[in-house]
Amino acid sequence: MYTLTLVVGIGGVTNGGKSTLATNLQKKLPHSCIIAQDTFFKDDSVVPVDSNGFKQYDLLDALHMDKMMEEIYSWWRDPQSYHQSTCATTEAGRTEVFVVIVEGFLIFNHRPLNELMNKKYFLEIPYDECQNRRCSRVYTPPDPPGYFDGHVWPMYLKNRQEMQLQGIVFLDGLKSEAELLGYVYDDITTEIKNIRGKTEINSVNL
Ligand SMILES: Nc1ncnc2c1ncn2[C@@H]1O[C@H](COP(=O)(O)OP(=O)(O)OP(=O)(O)O)[C@@H](O)[C@H]1O
Ligand SMILES: NC(=O)c1ccc[n+]([C@@H]2O[C@H](CO)[C@@H](O)[C@H]2O)c1
């Protein structure tokens, strides 16, 4: 049996709805799993502080990107084993496509990770909505007063300027969860059919 893979990137602004979309997609896509960038933050004690006393969390340097890449490679080497716990049984004779959904706010700023992704989506919301959503969230450690305007939003603008744009589909994060899911799910299932189709043609030609 062939092992075919698809790496989907869901990036975007903080509170743009990345985790929500990734979770909704993962539930609908068989043989899929999520690797979330937020689980690779360095320990608070090693994250530097700027002259205003703000912890510099919204930079690639605040993340263990080496560990995140290792996790993705571990999936890639053997997606079937990686999926074992969550995966439904494969249908006999069917060429499966294993999907990893890589989700995070700085996934398009890391060149090696960028090169791995086959489909890329970026969720955007306006400043006011972003500030409102962020204020209703509690991170560990919690945002200190002034953190959004003093660190989060300016770093978002900077990171967005620097990210690699090639191949990214921009999504309006103000759209409903269902609408966003519908669009991305259709796009990915079309890609999965294409990948399967190409393999089937190649095996006939062999
Ligand atoms: N399409 C949507 N419409 C309205 N609200 C949404 C939508 N998607 C997510 N939300 C809400 O926005 C907030 C942030 O969502 P979520 O955690 O998915 O974002 P995120 O981009 O993963 O955030 P971060 O990575 O910064 O922690 C949550 O309160 C969630 O319920
Ligand atoms: N350890 C964490 O998950 C953590 C700690 C402090 C701040 N954050 C924020 O997470 C967002 C990305 O999802 C960034 O905007 C960080 O500020 C996360």
pLDDT tens-digit map of 33-48:
999 999 999 999 999 9
Set out the domains of the chain in order of their start, with CATH numbers: 1-19+31-88+96-106+117-146 (3.40.50.300)
CA 173 to ligand 1: nearest atom:
1
- Banded pLDDT at 135 (limits 50, 70, 90): very high
Report CA(57)–ligand 2 centroid distance (Å): 6
Q: Over the stretch 15-70, which tens digit does the pLDDT of each residue have?
A: 999 999 999 999 999 999 999 999 999 999 999 999 999 999 999 999 999 999 99
199 CB within 6 A, ligand 1: no
Task: Give pTM, 2 decimals.
Answer: 0.94
Per-residue pLDDT, 22:
98
Of the candidates 38, 44, 149, 186, the residue annotated as catalytic is 38
Neighbour-count burial of 6, counting CB atoms closer than 10 A to its CB (0-12 exposed, 13-18 middle, 19+ buried): buried
Q: How far apart are CA 163 and CA 144, in angstroms?
A: 27
pLDDT at 86 over 60: no
Report CA(70)–ligand 2 centroid distance (Å): 21
Q: Is 38 a catalytic residue?
A: yes
